A and B are shown apart, each in its own frame.
Chain A
C-alpha cells in the first residue's frame, strides 16, 4: 500500500538516530577528529619519504641519486641534484648520493609511481596526512632532511611491504656478500696458486741449491733438468 515504504524508511532512520546515542561504538562511523584518531590503514598512502638505515639520516640514505623517480614523476614534483663524490652504500658499494632532494608538496598527487620505479627501495609512501603549512612558498617544498625517515618507521606504517623490501635488500646483501666471498676465495685461490707457483719456482731454483752442498756433486747436473720441466 502507498506510504508503507515511507513508514519503513522512517523506522530505519529512527533506529539510526536512537542507535547513535545508545550504541555509538557500533553505529557511529566517524570520530571527533583532532581528539580521537582512527589508526591509519596499512595500504594508506599520502606523500613519499626517503628511507635511511643508520642513526644519522643523511649518512644512511638509501637513495643513490639515480634520478629515475625524477624522470618518471607525472607532475614533475621531484628535484634531485647528484653529489660530486661517492660513498659506500648499505652493501659497501661506492655510490653517489643526493646532494639535493626536494619534493613539491603542492604538486605531488600521491600516485606512488616514484616508489614503483625505484630500484633501490629508497623512496616509500608515508601515511602522514596533516601536511598543511603556514608558509605557502618555502613550507610546501620538502627537502631531504624533512623527507628522511628511518626504516623502522617504514616497518611500523607498512609492515607487510617493509618485510618484502627488507627481504629484497637481504637478498642483495647476501648476493654482494657471496660475491665478495667468492672474490675473496678466488683471490685466495689465485694467491694460493701464485704462492704454489712461486714456491714451485723457488723449489726449482732454490731447493737444489741446498741439495748441492748436501747431495753428492755429480748428481746435480741430472737433478736440474728434472726440476726445470716441473716448473
Chain B
C-alpha cells in the first residue's frame, strides 16, 4: 500500500523519466532538452487551463448560491438529456469565443493591440515554472532566485495591461489601464514585503527550499507551516489581500469595474483575444495562490504528518482549490472599493503592517531559544495586534446622520 502511494506521488516524475529514457535513444542530442522542457510544461498547460475552465463554472454556481439563486445547471452533453450539473458550460463558452468575430477598432494600434493578450499570457505562464507542485515536481528549480524570478516575471503583466489599454484608443480602456497600473504598482510593494518575511526566516529565495523549511513537526503531528506563526498568519492575510489586488479580483476589481468602465482595459477585445485575457487573469490568480501556498501553507506538505501518504501534488491542488473557493466567497461578499479607498488602504494600512510584520519576524527569530513557545507566540502576536487595531481605526466605516444643508 505504501509503495502504491509512493508510486502515485512520484508518478509524473517517473513517467517523464521513462519517456526521456526512451526518447534519448531515438532523438538527436540537441533535441533532448527541448523534449524535456516540453514534457515539464505540458502538465501545467493541461491542468491549470482546465482548472480555469472549471473555476468559471464553479464561480458562477457559487455566486448564484450566495445570492439565493440556482446558478447555471443546463449545459451538458448536446443532443441528450445528460446535464452534468451545468459543467458543459465552459466547453460551450470556449467554442463560442473561438468562433466569434474578432473586432479591432479602426483607430487602434493594431500591432500592439494584437500583442497585448500574448504579452499578458506568457509572463503569467512563466511564473508557473518555479512553483513546486509536488515533491520533486518543479519545472525550473532556481536555487538562488526562485522567488525573485516569480516577482520579476509577474510584474511584467502591468506592461501588457497598459499595452491593451493604450492601443485600443478607447477612453474606457485607457481609464481601466491607468487604474490597473496605479493599483498593481501600489499593491506590488505589500505583496513583496509580506513574502520577504518568509525569506528572512527560511534564509533562501528557492521555493523548493522554502517548502522544505516548513517540514518540521510540532507536537508530534502538526506540520511547521509558516501560517502557524503570528508573523506568518498576518503575512498570509496581507499577502492574500495584495494578491487579490494584483489579480484584479473583487473587491479590488477597479480596472475592470463593468458597472463603471464597461470592461476596463479589455473593452475593445472580442472573441478569442478576450478569452485569452480572461484566461491570463485567472491563471495569474492561481499562480498567486500557488505562491501563497508555497510560502505560508507548506506547499505540497500535508497539514498533519500522519496524512503524509496522500500524494504531494494532491495537497497542492487541494490547497489551491480551497484558496480559489475563498476568493469566490470574497467576491460574493464584498462590494468594490473606490479608487481613493484602494490607494489609502495600500499606503496607509498594508504598507505599515508589512513593515511591522518584518520587524516581528526578526523578533520571532531572535526570541527562538530564550522564551517558552507560548510566551513567544503571545508576545509577537501582541506586537502585531496593537498596530493592527491602531491603523485599522481610520478605515472603519463611520455612519453619521447625513445633514442636508440646502434641502432643509
Partners in one complex: yes
Which positions in A face B, CB cutoff 8 Å? 1-3, 5-6, 9-10, 12-14, 16-17, 19-21, 27-30, 32
CA distance A134 to B379 in the complex (A): 74
Within 8 A of A (CB), among B19-63: 62
- Which chain B residues in 362-400 approach chain A with CB under 8 Å? 388-389, 391-393, 395-397
Complex Cα spacing A32 to B86, Å: 13
B178 part of interface (Cβ distance < 8 Å)? no
B88 CB to nearest chain A CB (Å): 17
Which residue on A lies nearest to B326, using beta carbons? A10
* Shortest distance from the beta carbon of B349 to any chain A beta carbon, whole Å: 8
B69 located at the interface, meaning its Cβ lies under 8 Å from any Cβ of chain A in the complex: yes
In Å, the complex CA distance between A30 and B64 comes to: 10
Asked if B342 is at the interface of the complex by the 8 Å CB criterion, the answer is: no
Residues A13 and B329 in contact, CB atoms below 8 Å apart = yes
Q: Shortest beta-carbon distance, B176 to chain A, in Å?
A: 25
Q: Which of B255-263, B311-319, B330-338 contacts A (4 or more CB under 8 A)?
A: B330-338
Across-interface contacts of A14 in B (CB, < 8 A): 329
**A1 in complex: contacting residue of B65, B70, B389, CB < 8 Å:** B389
Which of A20, A21, A27 has the most chain B CB within a 10 Å cutoff? Answer: A20
Q: Can you list 25 A-B pairs with a CB-CB distance of less than 8 A?
A: A2-B349, A2-B391, A2-B392, A2-B393, A2-B395, A2-B396, A6-B334, A9-B334, A10-B329, A13-B329, A13-B332, A16-B65, A16-B66, A16-B67, A16-B68, A17-B62, A17-B66, A19-B68, A20-B70, A28-B68, A28-B70, A29-B68, A30-B69, A30-B70, A32-B70
Known: A20-B69, A32-B70. 4 other contacts (CB 8 A): A2-B349, A5-B396, A6-B334, A17-B66
Interface residues on B, range: 20 to 34
Per the bound structure, the CA–CA distance linking A153 and B302 in Å amounts to: 67
B394 → A minimal CB distance (Å): 9
**A32 partner residues in chain B, CB cutoff 8 A:** 70, 73
Instruction: Choose from A2, A5, A6, A20 the contact partner of B65 (Cβ within 8 Å).
Output: A20
Which residues of chain B are near A13, meaning CB under 8 Å? 66, 329, 332-333
Q: Name the distance in Å between A46's Cβ and chain B's nearest Cβ.
A: 24
- A13 CB to nearest B CB, Å: 5
Residues of A close to B73: CB separation below 8 A = 32
Of B68, B389, B393, B397, the contact of A5 (CB 8 Å cutoff): B397
Contacts of B68 in A (CB 8 A): 16, 19-20, 27-30
The chain B residue sitting closest to A14, CB to CB, is B329
A9–B333 Cα gap in the complex (Å)?
6
- Contacting residues, chain A, for B397 (C-beta < 8 A): 5
For A17, give its contact among B65, B391, B396 (CB under 8 Å).
B65
A136 to chain B, nearest CB (A): 23
Q: How far is the CB of B351 from chain A (nearest CB, A)?
A: 15
Q: Write the B60-85 contact mask toward A (1 if CB under 8 angstroms, else 0).
A: 00100111111001000000000000
Q: What chain A residues lie within 8 Å of B67 (beta carbons)? A: 16
Query: Smallest CB-CB separation from A34: which chain B residue?
Result: B74
The 5 closest A-B pairs by CB, nearest first: A2-B392, A20-B65, A9-B333, A13-B66, A13-B333
Chain A residues contacting B62 (CB-CB under 8 Å) are 17
CB distance from B283 to the nearest CB of A (A): 25
What is the bound-complex CA distance between A129 and B15, given in angstroms? 59
Shortest CB-to-CB span from B93 to chain A, Å, is 21
- Considering the chains assembled together, what is the distance between the CA atoms of A17 and B62 in angstroms? 7
Give every chain B residue within 8 A of A5 (Cβ-Cβ): 396-397
- In the assembled complex, the Cα of A195 lies from the Cα of B388 at a distance in Å of 112
CB-CB under 8 A from B66, the residues of chain A are 13, 16-17
Contact with A along B117-141 (1 / 0, CB 8 A): 0000000000000000000000000
A150 vs B18: C-alpha distance in the bound complex, in angstroms? 79
Beta-carbon contact of B70 and A3 below 8 Å: no
Inside 8 A of A10's CB, which chain B residues have their CB? 329-330, 333
Docked Cα-Cα span, A21 to B69, in Å, equals: 10
CB distance from B345 to the nearest CB of A (A): 10
Taken together as a complex, chains A and B put the C-alpha atoms of A2 and B334 apart, in Å, by 14
When C-beta atoms are compared, the residue in chain B nearest to A29 turns out to be: B68
| Chain A residue at minimal CB-CB distance from B389 | A1
What's the nearest-Cβ distance from chain B to residue A107, in Å? 31
Question: A32 to chain B: closest CB distance in Å?
Answer: 7
| Of the residues B332, B333, B349, B388, contact of A6 by C-beta under 8 Å | B333
CA distance in complex: A133, B397 (Å): 52
Bound complex: CA of A21 vs CA of B62, how far in Å?
A: 11
- Contact residues of B between 228 and 285, Cβ < 8 Å to A: none
Distance between Cα atoms of A27 and B69 in the complex (Å)? 8
Minimum CB–CB distance for B126 against chain A, Å: 33
